Structure 1
């Protein structure tokens, strides 16, 4: 057993202290629980910072930076994050099952990832190890918490939360906080708390199908090199949320964008590479690109799930915002990936001729391709959503054109100064979602604010 695996195993055992919190919360007064529930983790943090500075226990938990400073900062941060979530669980109504599931998911998921690395040191396999172990531990933690406080177990929700948390944890570790467990733990806990509070109606078969389809498509995108490893994780996470929180129709829009947009990056790739306008990593889109184009859609599907109960708005408003944002993402991707291989682009603000690849430059071929992308998303929306009629399809096309135009305008004015490409993509899809939602209120009679 390697030192890394031993350390991960020790952290997993510390994480298992989370099982002590549900009995404390359910069998003591709220005031006493507020002090006692975070106690085990606060004690661990105090020992890590002020007592254990050498010896076998120190060596078991120490990371390279800890040895330099003579303090177990990694263990202390992990314990303090768990203590903070425990406080949220007993004081601010975070479900105890979410708290326990989150801590066990991260700690045992880390162990699973490190164990896989000892067998074969490949990032994709280590990620699979983290996700699988995290999913199992997160599910078991939620089940154990329910037993400890004698509440019913809703397995479809348990598996959905565990899968969502495991994928989010893998994503955050891959792109942001590889060694920052406290931030990852807090992020997972807050997301799962949000999902647990939504008025969701999920069933076992639906979650199973959603997981299977999302993982299959993610693996296919990775194998075809249309997405990097972080991009694949992001896509799988978004597909899972879209299927479960929305339905198959929402998923079809998203996967159409992923598929057609990903393949469009391969269109005459060598020529785009010679012009200096090709996507990096041989056209494989990373998590930043995927999130920038899909984050507005994720917020829209969350709004749909929370409406009208929590938002007071009609759910259809969010459906049109979702379709409009995906339409814009498709339009912008096709206009840039296809239009970029043609000569004589013009700057959208002045119409002067500029070099290919100039931010904010457009070609008529790219505009036609972008319009075709918006029409494709509108046609699918017309076929899968009952509320989308011919007028609604026009609204979706309108959103796509608005987003594509805003993207070009931002590219010509602020890209490289105030925003990078991902920021431009996000604000373009946001503009498209808002425009489509407002247009739906005016044009489609069944949609109201």
Structure 2
């Protein structure tokens, strides 16, 4: 057993102690339960700062801990568990959540290290993390539910475990090992949100959703249209969109993912020569995927929470979602196709600029962008009974507004105050807002 695998197993064993949370919550009043469940982890956090050597230090020490002479990694791990337990007992978070978040990460790490020890490639190690984390998360909810006297239905348990494992794998692929506490807290908060939404699912529904998203994620990675973090981001967002939204929402999102990825690959060698090619051989990373999809994710979550938590009709967020995705599609097609043509003009002054200049546009690119927004609008028109021709027009207009905003920001602030991903986010935000405003203004959606 390698030292990294041995350390991962040791962390997982500490993580199993989090099961004290549902036990204490079942047996004691909240204040006493907090003392019983959280305080031991807080004491462990403080005590580890003085451990400088010995068997415990050698077992848990990461490279950074050895350099600093303190078990900061284990201390942060314990502190994050204590924080989630405090939230669970004092603020009505299900006590299964801290257990699941902790074990998804810690057991997932064990799975990844087992695969790495066998010489597995990064994507295989990530698959090992996701599978082990999923099984740990599912088992955590079952065990905690048995202790507390209630648990969600089987399909919902599968969704919660899969979502948590995918988010943890995504964060682990982007962060350092010392950032594990951030992963635990992030997964815990996501699971808390989903348990509060009271999601309803069938067994066949979750099976189809998982099969579709995993297959598409593998294809995107195999075709090199997305990096490993980008693939994980796309798979997670697709799963959430199918389950929390519906297949119509997913159809719009996956059209952007697939169409945008293929557009980046189109005449790639020529784009390299012209200096406008997407980096990483056209494979989109997690930052790019999130920048273009974060508003869409917010919209699908807000729609699921409406009108109970937001007080507005869910269709309003459908237009936010469709508008932001239309903008992402418009901007991608405009850039990837328009950049292949000569003599672009700066959108603010209309002077000629070199291809690839931020804010430079061509009429061919503008047409490609409008066509991209039209594709998203057509999907919405076909798959949603509430979307009429007027609603489709709102989506196209929103996509055009987002694409134009992207060009304007590229010509004015990109490279000075924000980067490309920040501009993409602001463009999809403007499109989402435009979609909501236009839908209300044209009486398609009533507030």
Q: TM-score range, shorter-chain basis?
A: over 0.9
Cα distance in structure 2, aligned partners of 1:353 and 1:176: 41
| Structure 1: gaps spanning 5 or more residues | none
TM-score by length of 2: 0.98
Deviation at 1:379, TM superposition (A): 0.6
1:49-88 CA-partner distances (Å, limit 9, x unpaired): 22x3212221111111211222111111100100111111
Deviation at 1:224, TM superposition (A): 0.5
Indicate if the aligned counterparts of 1:199 and 1:305 stay in contact, CA closer than 8 A: no
Matched, 1:226 2:254: no
1:391-410 CA-partner distances (Å, limit 9, x unpaired): 01001101100000000000
Matched, 1:172 2:188: no
The correspondence of residues 261-410 of structure 1 with structure 2, limited to 5 A, is 261-410=260-409
1:90-125 CA-partner distances (Å, limit 9, x unpaired): 111111111211111111011111111001242111
1:216 counterpart residue number: 215
Cα distance in structure 1, aligned partners of 2:176 and 2:243: 27
The correspondence of residues 23-102 of structure 1 with structure 2, limited to 5 A, is 23-50=23-50, 52-102=51-101
Indicate if the aligned counterparts of 1:17 and 1:41 stay in contact, CA closer than 8 A: no
Cα distance in structure 1, aligned partners of 2:350 and 2:419: 22
Q: Once structures 1 and 2 are overlaid, which stretch shifts more, 64-73 or 341-350? A: 64-73
Indicate if the aligned counterparts of 1:37 and 1:90 stay in contact, CA closer than 8 A: no
Cα distance in structure 2, aligned partners of 1:53 and 1:210: 48
Matched, 1:20 2:26: no
Indicate if the aligned counterparts of 2:142 and 2:151 stay in contact, CA closer than 8 A: no
1:196-246 CA-partner distances (Å, limit 9, x unpaired): 111322222211111110010010000011001110000000000000000
Cα RMSD, aligned residues only: 1.1
Deviation at 1:178, TM superposition (A): 4.1
TM-score by length of 1: 0.98
Deviation at 1:444, TM superposition (A): 4.3
Cα distance in structure 2, aligned partners of 1:177 and 1:53: 22
Deviation at 1:188, TM superposition (A): 0.7
* Counterpart selection for 2:446 from 440, 445, 448: 448
Q: How many residues align?
A: 447
Indicate if the aligned counterparts of 2:344 and 2:362 stay in contact, CA closer than 8 A: yes
Q: Once structures 1 and 2 are overlaid, which stretch shifts more, 61-70 or 368-377? A: 61-70
| Structure 2: gaps spanning 5 or more residues | none
